[in-house]
Amino acid sequence: MSSVLLNIKELVSFYIKINYEEYLKENNIDKIEESKIRDIITEMFNIRKEHLLQFLKESLKDILKDEYPGDERINDIYNDLLSDRDFCITKITTEIKLYQKNK
């Protein structure tokens, strides 16, 4: 896996965890009920997907500096990642469930 893809994977996981923690804080809860995680992730996914793209671009520019492949390439990779929306939501839901269990 290229360093760009590896960095994107790590940044997406980081972004998810940060947004998860913010959600808990905003709603004054310790964890999300397992039965509600998918619905919450779906809603957040719809609202934050453009913000995530901007976060990825800015973070990758900082990390990769002169090796940054350009916004167009990052857009292509991001669109490929999101092409299967259901898969993305399922994967994020699974990560949150695991994160809550290990927290």
Task: Tell me what percent of the residues of the chain surpass a pLDDT of 90.
Answer: 57
Task: Look at residue 1 and tell me whether its pLDDT is greater than 70.
Answer: no
- For residue 45, the model assigns a pLDDT of 81
- For residue 88, the model assigns a pLDDT of 83
Show the domain range for 33. 3-102
The vertex-68 CA angle with 67 and 72, nearest 5°, equals 140
Task: Look at residue 56 and tell me whether its pLDDT is greater than 60.
Answer: yes
| CB-CB contact of 24 with 32 (8 Å) | yes
Q: Could you tell me which of 89, 86, 94 has the C-alpha nearest to residue 34?
A: 94
The values of phi and psi at residue 28, to 5°, are: 50, 50
- For residue 87, the model assigns a pLDDT of 87
How many domains does the chain divide into? 1
Give the integer Cα–Cα distance in Å for 41 and 12. 13
